[in-house]
């Protein structure tokens, strides 16, 4: 069972990686209840851009590496990613490294959706399940 967000953009938070509060990272404001309602408009688009830029800075080269990994597989677990990094890049990473990388990748994906919707219609509102 996963946690979803819906509204002007829709999707599923990454299981075990991404918190329901990630929209706050992009300047959205919580509307408390059993889920969290978020809203942002084009007046605050710079906050979204700053959030996306920070995600890219945190991911650095891992953004391209993880995109390549996910383009070759339909599912994943930590061990698959750890093994893939070692085979593809000769890079030793641990479970905590995987968690951090995936958190920033998931956050970036959410931020891109928020940004696109704000550019398209001038605002974005979502409801995130807790």
Q: What's the average model confidence in pLDDT over 2-13? A: 90
Beta bridge partners of 82: none
The pTM (predicted TM-score) of the whole model is 0.78
Residue with tokens 């994943």: 76
Buried b (16+ CB within 10 A) or exposed e, 84-111: bbeeeeeeebeeebbebbbbbbbbbebb
56-69 burial by CB neighbour count: b if 16+ within 10 A, else e? Answer: eebbeebbebbeeb
58, 51 Cβ separation under 8 angstroms:
no
pLDDT in tens, 22-79: 999 999 998 767 788 899 999 999 999 999 999 999 999 999 999 999 999 989 999 9
Residue of 34, 31, 39, 32 lying closest to 9 (CA atoms) = 39
Q: How far is it, in rounded angstroms, from Cα 15 to Cα 17?
A: 5
Pairing of strands 11-12, 4-7: antiparallel
- Please give the pLDDT value at position 94: 97
């Amino acid at each position: 069972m996963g946690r979803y967000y819906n509204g002007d953009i829709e999707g599923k938070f990454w299981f075990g990686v991404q918190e329901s509060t990630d929209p706050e990272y992009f300047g959205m404001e919580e509307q408390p209840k059993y889920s969290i309602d978020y809203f942002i408009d084009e007046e605050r688009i710079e906050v979204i851009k700053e959030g996306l830029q920070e995600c890219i800075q945190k991911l650095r080269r891992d953004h391209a590496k993880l995109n390549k990994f996910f383009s070759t597989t339909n599912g994943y677990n930590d061990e698959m990613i750890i093994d893939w990094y070692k085979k593809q890049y000769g890079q030793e990473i641990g479970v905590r490294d995987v968690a951090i990388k995936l958190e920033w990748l998931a956050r970036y994906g959410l931020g891109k959706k928020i940004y696109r919707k704000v550019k398209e219609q001038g605002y974005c509102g979502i409801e995130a399940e807790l």
